[in-house]
Chains A and B, each alone.
Chain A
Amino acid sequence: MAVIAQVINASKEFKSGDSVIVALKPSSMDLETGKVTLILGPSGSGKTTLLSLIGCVIYPTSGEVIIDGVSTRDLSANKMAKIRLNKIGFVFQQFNLLAPLSAEQNIMLPLTLLGVPDGEARERVKTALQKVNMSHRAKSLPKMLSGGEQQRIAIARALVTDPPIMLCDEPTASLDTNSAHVVMEELKLLAAEGKAVAIVTHDMRLKPYADEIVYVEGGQISKTEINQPI
């Protein structure tokens, strides 16, 4: 187990008109490989903001975010995109599969972006499909798939580049209990294989899957549970 991502005294403020919204107060946390880290908190507490910082889609207002030894503070938008492509697999609440592309093309996409040769890419897509038990739906368009199936394709897309970090924002919120369980088991397996898996949720029922839990409330991170119903 190693620390692959660090949030060091990082904060995030959003300006909207004259007012400033503090989405995340200066906070610190580490993300370790081989572990499922659950980021728990009520709606509007700053979970997605924290995940976006680690996911290199936004810059911290203050403090630092370090991904695999590189600080994102002074990186260009294109360099940030490269880090996302190379180091991070994303899983979203709404699955975010590209609607015009088939399941296997969606999984192929990050490999295309990376410039992986066709033959090798096809092999890796096949393996990824097997891993999430979706080989039989390779040719289907996303709209032909159930929510749970779409999320498994999304997981395959996230893991096909073999990134050290998997970031999941409410991956089970759009799924029934059964599909949610399948998805969580898959994510746990990925952690067991050595990835750092961070899962944002407000669903306390996911706690049993966690190796680590980070609580977020009112833009603040704490290691201990907050005594408040979520």
Chain B
Amino acid sequence: MLKYAWQFMKYDKAKSLGIVIGIVISIFLIGQQTGIFLFLTNAMKALVTNSQADLWVVDSKTINANALGKLDIRKLKELESIPGVARAFPVVVSGGTARFDDGTTAGIQLIGTDAPSFRVGLSSKKIIGGSLEAMLEDGAVSADYFDRNSLGGAKLGTSFEINGKKAFIAVQTSGVRGFGGIFMFTTIEKARYFGNIPNTNMSAVLIDVVPGTDPRAVKDLINKTLFGVRAWSSKDFAASTVTFLLGNSGIGFSIGSLIVFALIAGFFIIGLTMYSAALDRIRDYGTLKGIGASNGYIIRLILLQAFLFSLVGFVLGYAFIELFRWGVGKAGTVFSYSPAIIATFFLITLIISLGGAAFAIRRIVSLEPASVFRG
């Protein structure tokens, strides 16, 4: 049966090509939109996912990591005294304008954490140039390689101004980028200095719990004991940030509707092409019925063709998706598909081609075996 199915597909090359192209285009569009979605949501939660901490403690009204409220510095001591808290690291986020020698200006977000642990943004995995020692010098900040175009081509060592104060790039990261603003990481003192943030304030506190302690219990204890703050697990804070921004930006809706559109368009293009291909072979299917093939056999023959189409279409479509990923990755739009997502792409391919085959199957099943006697 596999051989017969394959020969049916090969026989009508133009229609088969049409079906494969339909599958490739729709799976490519879906993959592309999913990729952009992954990139954007990763950027939304980048601050949280690029930090090392069991818990984030922020102002009690804050639900978005990209818009942190103010915390009184005294909260740091209070947090340190909570049982189960091993260490607390303050984070200061300030805004500013970067101005470069060539006249380029850019709005930036400065994120300061204590040296030498630099709990946010400056993990060794993400650093591609410079050193954390240099980060201790006056005016030292980091910049991401992929933000260089927005920063007047800034490289390691480039001097510039932040809010009119002298700064230079001491560390270069790769792929630590925010949603909207440009991230620059530095020490907590410099984040205060550049952004005029008084010593009495901070933006958030990162918590390490005592080894062996359940972070959730510590989180609950903080939320019960301290007023005006809210502790989150890193995972929940990231999720809350993404949910908030998706809901506010319409990105979820626009990407979701594009994916649904690609699904529906693909389903009908593939379905109608398969239908028309089956009509071209209706005489053959009629003969099959006439000489005694059951409906089940003919349905399997059509489904097998649909399955083979989805295999071929998926392999090609996924190759194009990877090509797209590689292309935009070079421009800094870095993301990756998890095995589960790739499996979902294949499942979607299967559903649209097997579903599309339903049109053809309906037509062939209703075919009278007696049709075989009518030319």
Contacts and interface: CB of A to CB of B under 8 A. Distances in A.
A113 B290 CA distance: 12
B292 A84 contact: yes
Interface in A53-111: 55, 57-58, 77-78, 80-86, 88, 90, 92-94, 96-101, 105, 109-110
B329 to A, nearest CB: 42
Nearest to B289: A81
A90 B375 contact: no
A112 interface: yes
B101 interface: no
Contact of A105 (B4, B289, B291, B370): B4
B16 to A, nearest CB: 11
B227 interface: no
Contacts, number: 82
Contact of A82 (B3, B283, B289, B292): B292
B291 A110 contact: yes
Contacts of B287: 92, 96-98
Interface in B282-338: 283-284, 286-295, 297
B11 interface: yes
B292 A100 contact: no
B292 A110 contact: yes
B257 to A, nearest CB: 40
A41 to B, nearest CB: 15
A93 B284 contact: no
Given A84-B291, A84-B292, A98-B284, A113 B10 contact: no
Interface string A143-184: 000000000000001000000000001000000000000000
A162 to B, nearest CB: 14
A93 B374 CA distance: 9
B366 to A, nearest CB: 12
A52 interface: yes
B292 A81 contact: yes
Nearest to B373: A48
A134 interface: no
B294 A78 contact: yes
A100 B10 contact: yes
B340 interface: no
Contacts of A78: 294-295
A59 B181 CA distance: 76
Interface string B90-127: 00000000000000000000000000000000000000
Interface residues of A, number: 33
Contact of A100 (B7, B293, B372, B375): B7
Given A81-B294, A84-B291, A101-B4, A96 B11 contact: no
Contact of A86 (B8, B292, B370): B292
B14 interface: no
B281 interface: yes
A99 B3 CA distance: 14
A98 B4 CA distance: 10
B370 A57 contact: yes
A85 B291 contact: yes
Contact of B375 (A84, A86, A94): A94
Contacts of B1: 112
B11 A99 contact: yes
Contacts of B284: 98-100
B8 A100 contact: yes
A64 to B, nearest CB: 18
A51 B281 CA distance: 24
A10 to B, nearest CB: 15
Nearest to A102: B7
B122 to A, nearest CB: 63
Given A58-B370, A98-B284, A169-B373, A90 B290 contact: yes
B252 interface: no
A86 B9 CA distance: 28
22 contacts: A48-B373, A57-B290, A57-B368, A57-B370, A58-B370, A81-B293, A84-B290, A85-B291, A85-B292, A85-B293, A94-B375, A98-B287, A99-B11, A99-B284, A100-B4, A100-B281, A109-B288, A110-B291, A112-B1, A112-B4, A113-B292, A169-B373
Interface of B: 1, 3-4, 7-8, 10-12, 281, 283-284, 286-295, 297, 368-370, 372-375
